[in-house]
Amino acid sequence: MELDTKSHGQNRVATRPGSVLPLTRWRRNLPYLAFVLPALIVYSIAVILPLIQTFRYSFTNFDGISSDVDFVGLENYRTTLSNDLIVEPFIRTILFASTVPLFVTVLAIPLALILNGRFKTRNFQRAAFFFPSVLSALFLGFAWTFILSSSRYGMVNGLLERFGFERQLLLADSDLAMWLLVFVTVWSQVGWHAALYLANLQTIDQTLLEAADIDGASAFQKFRYITLPHLSPALTVSVALLILASLKVFDLPFAMTEGGPGRSTVLMTQSIITQGLSSSRVGLASAMSFLFFVIIAVVTFTQVTLMSRQEPEA
């Protein structure tokens, strides 16, 4: 009788509500897996497989046309790291991806604070600042090319002449063109990222700000100790998106300068496309792409990890 009681107790423990058999767990998760599977298949076809193929081509002399492909080992990677025509666009891209997030963040947070105020035209102003981020980057590039043109049709040069100044080369100036690309990129992105910060500002408990007012805190102290910590999650996401977009940018610079004057505004993505399509050096372009992918992954992971640690606990 004692043995039967022990056996019954063991069975009761094995089938307690908290324990779920692996087969039962799979059955419960099957509907969720069925929803995820199509997206996973598409993602694998569109991203994973091309990435694997790119890595494979990076060790060959594939030209994109011929079926005669030879294995060249690390030769493409050596060329990538030693050729000035490839290294210079990479350095230029890193500088571009450093300045754009900095300027956008410095401008977007104050803009969000202003747009969070209570005034009659705030909805119109929010829409006006957000509007440039809706337009196509190619459209913005062509529009700003017309605005900054050094011809008599250029809007900026027309204003300069009206006020008695000489015409400027602007986009035809190799020293100025890159900064104009940064300016247009920042102008087009500030509104979108201000909206991101604005959404976080509206989640701040107003009683915290009221208590700070009662304690005599200044506007800077309220921003430093209340507003900014609450913006930390949005700051992490915003900077990550800006870095990714700046590293991979192609359409806006190409539409405005096509890499000119000379090669002063050629960025990494344009260099990869030029090597792969125009020069028919797909193997070399694949090596450049894979190295660039690794760098982007490392930079993004490091940035998100470091900034996430600075976020206050909820």
Q: What is the pLDDT of residues 276-314, one digit of tens each?
A: 888 889 999 999 999 999 999 999 999 989 888 877 764
What's the average model confidence in pLDDT over 23-47? Answer: 84
Q: Is the pLDDT of residue 213 over 90?
A: no
**pLDDT of res. 287:** 93
Mean pLDDT, the chain, rounded, equals 86
Please give the structure tokens belonging to residue 236: 């992490």
**pLDDT of res. 20:** 52
> Omega before 101 cis (within 30°)?
no
Domain boundaries, the chain: 75-134+175-309
How far apart (Å, rounded) are the C-alpha atoms in residues 34 and 41?
A: 11
Please give the structure tokens belonging to residue 67: 């079926």
**pLDDT of res. 237:** 93
How far apart (Å, rounded) are the C-alpha atoms in residues 181 and 257?
A: 9
Residue 196's CB is within 10 A of a number of other CB atoms, namely 16
Superfamily assignment of 75-134+175-309 in CATH?
A: MetI-like (1.10.3720.10)
Tell me the whole-structure pTM to 2 decimals.
0.83
Q: If 0-12 CB within 10 Å is exposed, 13-18 middle and 19+ buried, where does residue 41 land? A: exposed
How far apart (Å, rounded) are the C-alpha atoms in residues 272 and 57?
A: 14
How far apart (Å, rounded) are the C-alpha atoms in residues 209 and 130?
A: 27
Please give the structure tokens belonging to residue 91: 């350095």
Q: Is the pLDDT of residue 1 over 90?
A: no
Q: Tell me the pLDDT tens digit for each residue of 135-193.
A: 889 999 999 999 998 877 888 988 888 888 888 888 888 889 999 999 999 999 999 99
